Structure 1
Amino acid sequence: MASRVIPVEVFDLVIFGGTGDLARRKILPGLYLRWLAGQIPAEARIIGAARGELDDQGFRDFVAASIEEFVARDRKDKAAIKGFLERLHYVAIDVTGEKGWKDLKALGREGAVQAFYFSVAPALFGAIAERLRSYEIAGAEARIVVEKPFGRDLASARALNATLAQHFEEGQIYRIDHYLGKETVQNLMAVRFANILFEPLWKSEYIDHVQITVAETVGVEGRGAYYDKSGAMRDMVQNHIMQLLCLIAMEPPYHFDPDAVRDEKLKVIRALDPVKPEDIVRGQYLAGAGEGSYLEHSGNKDSRTESYIALKVHISNWRWKGTPFYLRTGKRLRARESEIAITFREPPHSIFDDHSGWRENVLVIRLQPDEGMNLKVMIKEPGPGGMRLTQVPLDMSFAEALANTMEDVPDAYERLIMDVIRGNQTLFMRGDEVEAAWAWTDPIIQGWEARGDRPQGYDPGTSGPEDALMLMHRDGRRWRGIGQ
């Protein structure tokens, strides 16, 4: 089975911050791979816009170096790289001043999709949006892509949305969250809504609890000053994990349509109960294995910012009443792993005398490092000696099951940028969705700040603080092992 590649329309994509780290690591190599796959038409143009005094050739040299560093060897094709570099242009620009804007306007043309990627700090969004309009660069159908963070609380998120709304309609704004571009995340919707097998069981009557884990082995060194102003709650839970929670818990939309999907996600966020203090565990990693502690990496020896957080969350609606969702994310943990585990309830009655080997059915959706799904079911243990039960996984590793297509599957940024060009907002967050997420998050943060709570220290290379284990143990449940 070959992967189908459907070319997009001719486009002009302007990348503000075109020489920045995100552009170098993700955006530009990703665009090259879409060119290599035949998805980008020859008439397309990619325009870097940044403060540096480069010309077109200087920018092409910069992009060639990024391809060399961040693209796998077997995907480097000299002819394809040459053709891709010919699509590139550059404008030296001052996004808060007037330099370069007339040069950018001069590159405009009719008949091409206009897209503007704001790969810059959110504080600059307003200045760029205002100048795109005042210099009459962005047309009525232009699309803008904005990176997180979408504010750091409800007030700043509302202000940011209001700033963008002064110059662009909501249908033109693409708030990008790369987690939604992952193949497995989208497959979650397919598994739920394209198979009768799961959807009748997808409710509290049959599901005991859900665990969502995003674990990282890296610390915050190199970005400690930035991270110390956000923490795990703002950096991961409010956006990435919230999106995963919504896709697990949402009702079936009437159609796979951008606003229909986002309407259902918004309902989940608004149904989230306030989180009790005893259902929150925060941690900071300690020094160990030759590495510094969070306090050292953040440069703030009195920091109360968390590098780890675990939460027990409830959704007050008919589908999920009584089923807890356990969320956790952290730095310097045992392994790099992102997964969703749906644990089903026990059968109402066991017909087997020996119930000692019984374990719950669990559907595990792996987002990284190896994308795929497996369903753990009970079978008879092979051999003589009576009916002994054992648990085995029905495994579907995408790399194995779809071996002929997975190597051509675009990564999250590749997919999402192509969706921008197509004008498909399904995998992008809407403004009211972002604000609803902050409206739920803010009281949690304000609560621990008012109480003066300090994060609990935890050793690097573990599963996090001891109190996080108790969060599950007191309910008679256990976290799934990280990296196992």
Structure 2
Amino acid sequence: MTGYQSSHAFTADRLLLFGATGDLAQRMLLPSLCALAHDGLLSPDLRIVGTARSEMSDAEYRDFAREALEKYLPDSRRGGMDDFLGRLTYQALDASTTAGFDMLAAKVGTPDQGLAIFLSTAPSLFEPTIAGLQSAGLTGPKVRIGLEKPLGTDLDSSCEINDAVAAAFSEDRIFRIDHYLGKETVQNLLALRFANVMFEPIWNANYIDHVQITVAETVGLESRVAYYDDSGALRDMVQNHMLQLLALVCMEPPTSFDATAVRDEKVKVLRSLRAVGEGETVTGQYRAGAISGTAVPGYDEELGKESDTETFVAIKAHVDNWRWKGVPFYLRTGKRLPERVTEIVVQFRCIPFSIFEDRGAKTVPNRLVIGIQPEENISLRLMAKVPGLDREGIRLRPVPLDISMPDAFAGAVKRIAYERLLLDLVEGDQTLFVRRDEVEAQWEWIDAIRAGWVETGLTPKTYTAGAWGPSAAIALAERDGVSWHE
């Protein structure tokens, strides 16, 4: 999908990567850029400058990048790797002081078309980095900046970061990244809703009973110990990824597929979120257990101390507007769950009257399941008659209509989400990026939940690694007659 470009749009011929030696750069950014270059989607004029604390020469950084590409990029997409590596240069920088930014600016040079900056650093470095960019003349009208999360830990800190960025960049040059928005199936949710006549008339409280959004991980802390214990599941996953998915499910049809129209509708949803009441959230923290038959330690063991940080959260949410009034949205996310899965389940209401009941046949409601990862697919459960002569009664059975996206689009390149987002950053398309008022609406809702936890003394319940969270999460849905989709 190609969206709208603002009046300040330009295709940059310089890309500056902060955090260029970090895990994200190795796993996602460098492979994505190399794949785009392989497919001829990056201008031959685009030059890429990496910067981080580590001292490296250009040649050493190219060797570093080559190792990352050989590790994380499939063989089929490595064509032209040497040409891509030739685009790379490197400048060491301590971003906490403005002292080295003049040398960085010299390395970047003077772009003919414009400069795109990708900022993937610790939140504490955001403000000094912006100050350093300003001091070196790297914030002019032909410069745009992409910001990788986390953007703060609450509304106040988020506003502080956004104020610092806004002092140097206008909103139409700020690209706040939520990599879920770059996933094909997430964008297909918009196509499903707004490119097919059969769904939109029933996409409302009259026909939908409830919606479930699950983001489950099998991993534990891995290399994110310090960050995660300060953050927790609510701020790490719900505040950004899950609320963006909720907004896409709930938004009204935009007037067009452009950045302003799409984001206007999303922010209306986020502002319609009802404050979560007591008893509408469950938190948990995993203990030692097994994942796929392998024993794993508990959170407290991995952390090396006791903590009240939640590794699991389930929420019953409501969107109080005309379309969704009365429809519960069940959100859950957690670490050390039985499987890695991200999915949206739209559960439709029962039919108002069954003509088959007196023939012994039972019906179950239709269900739409949108799988986002690890498999991208869409499945619609419909009722169908089981073949037979029906002398002992009609038999009905739910039958799934499955669309596997890789199978449906055989031959199409499966892209990393960051490929699309980096290309949009370079070309100036903000449609799949998050606007400031969206971020702040998300934080307002999250902060109120956290304040409620403090007020009621809510602490995480333990659950065994490999389980679907604490039993209270099952009860959260089951008391409404709802079962989590597993």
Tell me the equivalent position of 1:151: 152
Tell me the equivalent position of 2:26: 24
Residue type of the alignment partner of 1:434: V
User: Could you say what secondary structure the match of 2:210 adopts?
Assistant: strand
8 Å contact 1:222–1:297 — kept in the other structure?
A: no
In 1, distance between residues paired with 2:373 and 2:111? 41
Note if 1:89 corresponds to 2:89. Answer: yes
Quickly say closer, same or farther: Cα 1:135–1:336, change in 2 above 3 A. same
In the superposition, the TM-score normalised over structure 1's length comes to: 0.94
In 1, distance between residues paired with 2:208 and 2:151? 33
In 1, distance between residues paired with 2:466 and 2:296? 11
Residue type of the alignment partner of 2:451: Q
**Deviation sequence 1:147-190 (CA, Å, 0-9, x none):** 11111111111111111111111111111000000000001001
In 2, distance between residues paired with 1:411 and 1:126? 29
In 2, distance between residues paired with 1:328 and 1:277? 17
8 Å contact 1:283–1:457 — kept in the other structure?
A: yes
8 Å contact 2:28–2:416 — kept in the other structure?
A: no
Residue type of the alignment partner of 2:351: P
**Deviation sequence 1:398-424 (CA, Å, 0-9, x none):** 11111111xx13211110010111211
Tell me the equivalent position of 1:76: 78
Note if 1:395 corresponds to 2:402. Answer: yes
In the superposition, the TM-score normalised over structure 2's length comes to: 0.94
Deviation at 1:97, TM superposition (A): 2.3
Quickly say closer, same or farther: Cα 1:240–1:116, change in 2 above 3 A. same
Note the residue ranges of structure 2 that are not aligned, 5 or more in a row.
1-9
In 1, distance between residues paired with 2:245 and 2:360? 34
In 1, distance between residues paired with 2:268 and 2:155? 18
Quickly say closer, same or farther: Cα 1:357–1:234, change in 2 above 3 A. same
In 1, distance between residues paired with 2:454 and 2:360? 47
Tell me the equivalent position of 2:224: 223
8 Å contact 1:221–1:298 — kept in the other structure?
A: no
Residue type of the alignment partner of 1:102: D
Note the residue ranges of structure 1 that are not aligned, 5 or more in a row.
1-7
User: Could you say what secondary structure the match of 1:69 adopts?
Assistant: helix
Note if 1:183 corresponds to 2:194. Answer: no
User: Could you say what secondary structure the match of 1:367 adopts?
Assistant: strand
Select which of 313, 318, 321 maps to 2:322: 318
Deviation at 1:325, TM superposition (A): 0.4
User: Could you say what secondary structure the match of 1:89 adopts?
Assistant: strand
The within-5 A match list for 1:396-415 is 396-405=403-412, 408-415=413-420
Residue type of the alignment partner of 1:458: Y
The within-5 A match list for 1:108-123 is 108-123=109-124
In 1, distance between residues paired with 2:257 and 2:237? 26
In 2, distance between residues paired with 1:450 and 1:217? 31
Residue type of the alignment partner of 1:381: V
In 1, distance between residues paired with 2:86 and 2:303? 42
**Deviation sequence 1:129-162 (CA, Å, 0-9, x none):** 1222221123212110111111111111111111
Tell me the equivalent position of 2:163: 162
Tell me the equivalent position of 1:50: 52
Deviation at 1:354, TM superposition (A): 4.4
Note if 1:60 corresponds to 2:62. Answer: yes
Equivalenced residues, count: 469
Tell me the equivalent position of 2:37: 35
In 2, distance between residues paired with 1:370 and 1:70? 19
Tell me the equivalent position of 1:337: 341
Residue type of the alignment partner of 2:407: E
Quickly say closer, same or farther: Cα 1:281–1:354, change in 2 above 3 A. farther
Quickly say closer, same or farther: Cα 1:10–1:261, change in 2 above 3 A. closer
User: Could you say what secondary structure the match of 2:90 adopts?
Assistant: strand
In 2, distance between residues paired with 1:123 and 1:259? 30
Residue type of the alignment partner of 1:26: M
Q: Runs (4+) of structure 1 moved beyond 4 Å?
A: none
**Larger displacement relative to structure 2 (454-463 or 328-337):** 454-463
Residue type of the alignment partner of 2:456: R
8 Å contact 1:209–1:342 — kept in the other structure?
A: yes
In 1, distance between residues paired with 2:221 and 2:346? 30
Deviation at 1:10, TM superposition (A): 5.3
**Larger displacement relative to structure 2 (148-157 or 134-143):** 134-143
Tell me the equivalent position of 2:126: 125
Residue type of the alignment partner of 1:20: G
Tell me the equivalent position of 1:283: 284
Tell me the equivalent position of 1:440: 445
Quickly say closer, same or farther: Cα 1:410–1:11, change in 2 above 3 A. farther
Note if 1:242 corresponds to 2:243. Answer: yes
In 2, distance between residues paired with 1:91 and 1:108? 12
User: Could you say what secondary structure the match of 2:233 adopts?
Assistant: helix
